[in-house]
Amino acid sequence: MSKKSKPEITLNFNQGWQYAPAPESSDHIRLEKKYGHFINGEFVAPASGKYFTSYNPSNEKPLADVGKGDARDMDKAVKAAKTAYDKVWKKMPAAERGKYLYRIARMIQERARELAVIESMDGGKPIRESRDIDVPLAAAHFFYYAGWADKLEYAFPGRTPEPLGVAGQIIPWNFPLLMAAWKIAPALACGNTVVLKPAESTPLTAMKLAEIIRDSGLPPGVVNIVNGFGDAGAALVNHKDVAKIAFTGSTDVGKIIQKAVAGTGKKLTLELGGKAANIVFEDAPLDQAVEGIINGIFFNQGHVCCAGSRLFVQEGVADKLIRKLKDRIETLRVGDPLDKNTDVGAINSKEQLEKISYYIGLGKEEGAEMWQPSGNIPQTGYFCRPTLFLNASQSHRIVQEEIFGPVLTIQTFRTVEEVIEKANNIPYGLSAGVWTDKGSRIFNLTGKLRAGVVWANTYNKFDPVSPFGGYKESGFGREGGVQGLAAYLKI
């Protein structure tokens, strides 16, 4: 670093240490003014001729227009996917399919910086997260499933696994590129072709992925990406030539999709909402637990289905842990997603900020005690202060409902039985965290918590090898690992 650019560090008594801005450069980013859809290997205009704008939520500025897809575009995409399936992809030797996946994985790595910057601009998440988590994990999923492509019979010994056909995939806005990779990689490895619909507020990394897919030489029609709103998603779900629907998003939309698919013979996996319990016992390493709690709910603005949004602390350490937690939250920097020092970025959209603000108001009305740090947050863009609700009770709606923002409810407990009962007493069951020094207690809880994933003395750790998915209203089916293959095969 040159002397000139040495960061200035000054102490501001209201806000603690302030760092000079350290923004990641966006000079190298090339975005088209307009993207249509990616169908049959090329970018095409939407049938309606209509476009909508994707904004940068941290400054409310437009980034690019994307095509507003409808049933006509979906039909064209599904036809392209079906032709590619029948004529090319299903006949191709599995090892050859694997090579395309490896190539896409490497191209994601080569363009990692560009993808991370666009992800942060379009969705609002801190560059640290898109750079260190989203993009590397997206590449890792392609690498992992590339390896399975020619080994499917070893994954299901004694069976003859066969692809399903065209997979329709619908994804949310919180991990746009990563969710696309989670869905596309296993589908292709298993020999299916794909039509993907990105979320309306974060379509841009999917368009960059489309460029990568085109440049990888993947046969046209094997992957198609159609932009649009919920009605475009519904047209995909209802298309007669789609053999499988994989949906990640809200429980409300998941229920609509489940009804639409019932009786059609389409295979379905649903990855839905969550309201995870993060449980801290008296013998836990408290400083580590504080980091895990922060990582679980405040990084990525709480826009994580498996966010540790309900904290349960054993009574003996509650005061101490809450004091440490408040001290740590005071140091969090809320602001420009492209700044490498930023801990908490922008809320993804105005609507989502309104929803979070509604729940913060509701929590106060319900009688929980609200606490927020003293620092400033930017005045333009959609930002929200990290928020704690102390003395929350099990019946509060802020405890029962998914807020999907940087809002943490805190409850205390005395016994293991009590905390298991409370942790399980909600409609969701996606994930949970347990913090304790005692191994036997971890095993006891992992068996009793009704959650698809339980982290022990850590939180929000992901790897393509481990399956992910929920219980109850958090959905069904697993993504990741060997289990993730089963969702895309007739076995």
Residues known to be catalytic: 271, 305
Binding part of the chain for ligand NAP, among 204-212, 227-235, 318-326, 338-346 by CB under 6 A, reads 227-235
Contact between 193 and Mg ion per CB under 5 A? no
3 state SS of 310 = strand
Q: Which two tokens stand for residue 329?
A: 């939250």
Check residue 206 for interaction with ligand NAP (CB under 6 A): no
Q: What are the backbone dihedrals phi and psi of residue 9, each rounded to the nearest 5 degrees, phi first?
A: -120, 120
Question: Bridge-partner residues for 431, per DSSP?
Answer: 453
**Rounded CA separation 228/197 (Å):** 7
Residues in the interface with ligand NAP (CB under 6 A) total 30
Q: Does 201 bind Mg ion (CB under 5 A)?
A: yes
CA torsion through residues 435, 140, 109, 233, sign:
negative
Cβ-based nearer residue to ligand NAP, 220 or 296: 296
Q: Which of 41, 123, 126, 274 binds ligand NAP (CB under 6 A)?
A: 274
- Between 233 and 335, whose beta carbon lies closer to ligand NAP? 233
Q: Name the segment binding ligand NAP (CB under 6 A); options: 158-166, 195-203, 358-366, 409-417.
A: 195-203
Q: Which does 54 bind (CB under 5 to 8 A by kind): ligand NAP, Mg ion, none?
A: Mg ion
Query: Is residue 66 near ligand NAP by the rule CB under 6 A?
Result: no
Single-letter amino acid, residue 118: I
Per-position b or e across 153-179, b if 16+ CB within 10 A of its CB? eebeeeeebebbbbbbbbbbbbbbbbb
Question: For residues 98-157, which are near Mg ion according to CB under 5 A?
Answer: 122
Query: Could you say whether residue 273 binds ligand NAP (CB under 6 A)?
Result: yes
d(CA 167, CA 236): 10
172 binds ligand NAP (CB under 6 A): yes
Q: Which of 200, 336, 339, 473 binds ligand NAP (CB under 6 A)?
A: 200
Q: Which stretch binds ligand NAP (CB under 6 A): 56-64, 113-121, 166-174, 214-222?
A: 166-174
The SS3 assignment for 278 reads strand
- 167/82 Cα distance (integer angstroms): 10
Please name every residue paired with 412 in a beta bridge, in sequence order, or none if there are none. Answer: 313
Complex with Mg ion: residue 55 or 281, whichever CB lies closer: 55
Smallest distance, ligand NAP to C-beta of residue 327, A: 29
Q: Give the helix/strand (H/E) hosting 352.
A: helix 350-366
Q: Give the DSSP letter of residue 391.
A: T
| Minimum distance from residue 465 beta carbon to ligand NAP (Å) | 17
DSSP assignment of 105-148: HHHHHHTHHHHHHHHHHHH---HHHIIIIIHHHHHHHHHHHHHH
| DSSP 8-class letter at 439 | H
Q: Is 75 left (phi over 0), alpha (psi -120 to 50) or beta?
A: alpha
Smallest distance, ligand NAP to C-beta of residue 232, A? 7
The correct pick among 187, 261, 272, 392 for binding ligand NAP (CB under 6 A) is 272
Choose among ligand NAP, Mg ion, none what residue 199 binds, the Cβ cut-off being 5 to 8 Å by kind: ligand NAP
The amino acid at 104: I
Quick one: tokens of 295? 């990582």
Interface with ligand NAP (CB under 6 A), residue from 100, 142, 173, 281: 173
Among 44, 213, 305, 321, binds ligand NAP (CB under 6 A): 305
The residue (of 171 and 289) whose beta carbon lies closer to ligand NAP is 171
| Cβ-based neighbours of 61, under 8 Å, separated by 6 or more | 55
Alpha-carbon distances, residue 338 vs 24, 113, 126, 302 (angstroms):
5, 12, 6, 18
- Per CB under 6 A, the segment of 113-121, 132-140, 367-375, 467-475 that binds ligand NAP is 467-475
Among 98, 163, 249, 375, binds ligand NAP (CB under 6 A): 249
Q: Which residues contact 360 (CB under 8 A, 6 or more apart)?
A: 370, 387, 407
Is 184 one of the binding residues for ligand NAP (CB under 6 A)?
no
- Does 404 participate in binding ligand NAP (rule CB under 6 A)? yes
Residues binding ligand NAP (CB under 6 A):
170-174, 197, 199-200, 229-230, 233-234, 237, 248-250, 253, 256-257, 271-274, 305, 402, 404, 430, 470, 474-475
Write out the residues near Mg ion by the rule CB under 5 A.
54-55, 122, 201
